[in-house]
């Protein structure tokens, strides 16, 4: 139950991070924003590890697996996600990306041999459908979005983002199950991803759209601490004991948790179908947390 709660808390932390991030992304561009975000997360996690006085020397295998996880999850998956976002818009991209939990469950079964009971499989299905409903019907009339460029390319990129994100979690699972400290693992993934993003940010097309100011940097940093620092550390902690499919399903409930946050911050009440999606997600969580 503790590990399931960690995955759900990660989803909430990422939801708050996503609510405060959009304006900073528009000003800095996705690559520079991601670099600032990862820098703040890395500093926060390193401070946590230093205060706890725990820093185990990882094996070469651990480093290789976490490096591959970071490259796939932070650099490749995020790049595909933003490319899909530019073509399809936020809502349809989020629908495609929400399928990463299903990809993770299938990959966990095929590669790691993880099996789930029928009850937990039904719970996973309820979560995936509920998240889709919450995204599509977040507001009345939310289905209409303009497409920029190729619709087919956008769909492929969105699905690739989900697949690579699932693969990144899959690579981290054996390392976490072996007992590596989650905060240390987060620091390693953030450091490797940050190195790649800093190299990308030097290229002209990936530079900041406008000069950085204190407000933008603070919003980006807070988003990073909540999303990458707290959220990913909790996801990795959950992976130390729970199968990839369950952790990915619970941590992918972010779009549902955003519903009340958006209502509170903007006053826009979500559509009834979005609440139906939230209800399905709760049912899925209960099924996964059950002993059956």
Q: Residue range 26-34: average pLDDT?
A: 78
Asked whether the predicted pLDDT for residue 292 surpasses 70, the reply is no
**Range with the largest mean pLDDT of 137-146, 184-193, 273-282:** 184-193
Q: Residue range 22-45: average pLDDT?
A: 83
Question: What is the rounded distance in angstroms from the CA atom of residue 159 to the CA atom of residue 282?
Answer: 25
Tokens found for residue 285: 């969580």
Q: What is the largest CA-CA distance in the chain?
A: 54
Of 123, 105, 62, which Cα lies nearest the Cα of 292?
123
Determine the pLDDT at residue 144: 47
- Choice among 11-15, 88-92, 263-267, 282-286 with the minimum mean pLDDT: 88-92
Asked whether the predicted pLDDT for residue 91 surpasses 70, the reply is no
Asked whether the predicted pLDDT for residue 68 surpasses 90, the reply is yes
Determine the pLDDT at residue 50: 83
Query: If DSSP codes are grouped into helix, strand and coil, which group holds residue 276?
Result: helix
Query: If DSSP codes are grouped into helix, strand and coil, which group holds residue 143?
Result: coil
Which secondary-structure segment (H or E) carries 46? helix 30-52
Q: Residue range 86-97: average pLDDT?
A: 71
| pTM of the full structure | 0.76
Q: Residue range 206-210: average pLDDT?
A: 63
Residue 195 dihedral angles phi and psi, to the nearest 5°? -60, -45
Question: What is the rounded distance in angstroms from the CA atom of residue 202 to the CA atom of residue 117?
Answer: 48
**Portion of the chain with pLDDT greater than 70, in percent:** 88
Q: Residue range 200-213: average pLDDT?
A: 70
Residue 4's CB is within 10 A of a number of other CB atoms, namely 18
Question: What is the rounded distance in angstroms from the CA atom of residue 85 to the CA atom of residue 157?
Answer: 9
What's the pLDDT tens digit per position in 148-201?
677 788 889 888 988 999 999 899 999 998 888 888 898 999 899 888 888 877
Of 213, 174, 220, which Cα lies nearest the Cα of 197?
220
Determine the pLDDT at residue 142: 46
Q: Evaluate whether 128 touches 255 at the Cβ level (below 8 Å).
A: no
Query: If DSSP codes are grouped into helix, strand and coil, which group holds residue 280?
Result: helix
Determine the pLDDT at residue 234: 92
Asked whether the predicted pLDDT for residue 141 surpasses 70, the reply is no
Tokens found for residue 170: 């899959």
Question: What is the rounded distance in angstroms from the CA atom of residue 278 to the CA atom of residue 133?
Answer: 8
Angle at the Cα of 248 from the Cα atoms of 72 and 100, rounded to 5 degrees: 55
What's the pLDDT tens digit per position in 110-124?
888 877 788 878 888
- Choice among 64-73, 148-157, 281-290 with the minimum mean pLDDT: 281-290
Question: What is the rounded distance in angstroms from the CA atom of residue 184 to the CA atom of residue 46?
Answer: 8
């Amino acid at each position: 139950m503790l590990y399931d709660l960690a995955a759900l808390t990660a989803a909430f932390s990422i939801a708050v991070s996503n609510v405060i991030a959009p304006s900073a992304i528009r000003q800095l561009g996705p690559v520079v924003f991601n670099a600032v975000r990862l820098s703040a997360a890395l500093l926060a996690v390193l401070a946590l590890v230093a205060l706890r006085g725990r820093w185990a020397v990882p094996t070469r295998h651990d480093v290789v697996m976490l490096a591959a996880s970071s490259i796939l999850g932070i650099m490749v998956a995020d790049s595909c996600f933003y490319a899909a976002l530019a073509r399809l818009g936020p809502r349809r991209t989020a629908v495609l990306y929400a399928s990463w939990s299903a990809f993770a469950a299938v990959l966990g079964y095929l590669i790691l041999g993880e099996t789930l009971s029928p009850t937990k499989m039904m719970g996973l299905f309820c979560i995936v459908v509920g998240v889709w409903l919450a995204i599509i019907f977040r507001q009345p009339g939310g289905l209409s979005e303009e497409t920029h460029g190729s619709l087919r390319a956008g769909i492929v990129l969105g699905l690739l983002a989900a697949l690579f994100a699932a693969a990144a979690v899959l690579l981290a699972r054996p390392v976490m199950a072996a007992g590596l400290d989650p905060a240390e693992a987060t620091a390693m993934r953030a450091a490797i991803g940050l190195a790649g993003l800093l190299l990308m940010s030097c290229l002209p097309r990936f530079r900041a759209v406008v000069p950085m100011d204190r407000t933008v940097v603070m919003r980006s940093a807070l988003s990073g601490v909540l999303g990458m620092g707290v959220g990913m550390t909790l996801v990795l902690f959950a992976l130390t004991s729970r199968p990839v499919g369950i952790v990915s399903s619970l941590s992918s409930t972010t779009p549902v948790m955003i519903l009340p946050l958006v209502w509170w911050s903007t006053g826009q009440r979500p559509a009834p179908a979005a609440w139906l999606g939230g209800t399905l997600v709760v049912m899925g969580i209960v099924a996964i947390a059950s002993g059956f």
